[in-house]
Amino acid sequence: MEISGSAECKELLTECLKVFKPFRGAYINIDYSLLPRGIAGRVNAEIETVRKRKKPGLFRKETIRINRRIKDNEFYIRINNNLAKIYDDKLRKEVVTSIIVHELLHIERKDLLEHSKNYHRRKHKKIHSALEKEALERLNTLRRLENLEPLGKKNYLEDEIKRRVSNTE
């Protein structure tokens, strides 16, 4: 696996990868970036779509089969640059680590292959249904490895992320 991006983000990403299965042959680029207000992090990949048409039979209609795959196994994780302005290094590390774990779960679960149409309607039903719980479990596992206290359901990191991301400084 190859990692590129800013030094701080690369270091935090390698820490977060301790609680994930290895992404073989993957290229991950991670950095702070200008994101829309209200978005803490985003993961992107170039997705290749192949449509195969099946000829109609005697009584059948024409069918179209769609195959989607991530091209060259490349992922781009972007973190809101307002989070880079957190002066307390420990708090910034915890907040960014939380976001990275969330985005790595999207990569692991192959959520990027879902159709982007009607994303906001599907977001809480299909993609994010069990993701938040699993992200908290992985984050707590990572915190135990670093001898830190595990977070509860309602943690201070979520409040800090919301406050910083909605900040328009």
| 8 A C-beta contact, residue 136 and residue 153 | yes
Q: What is the pLDDT of residue 149?
A: 80
Q: What is the dihedral of CA 47, 51, 52, 55, to 10 degrees?
A: 170
Helix (H) or strand (E) holding 7: helix 7-16
Residue linked to tokens 């009584």: 59
The three-state DSSP-derived secondary structure of 16-76 is: HHHHCCCCCCCEEEEEEECCCCCCCEEEEEEEEEEEEEECCCCCCCCEEEEEEEEEEEEEE
pLDDT of residue 79: 93
What's residue 167's pLDDT?
A: 65
pTM for this entry: 0.80
For the chain, the domains span 2-45+72-165
User: Mean pLDDT for each 10-residue chunk of the chain (169 residues)?
Assistant: 87 91 88 88 86 78 80 90 87 89 87 62 56 82 85 68 64
Looking at residue 118, its pLDDT comes to 53
Q: Does domain 2-45+72-165 have CATH number 1.10.10?
A: no
pLDDT reported for residue 168:
47
What pLDDT does 129 receive? 57
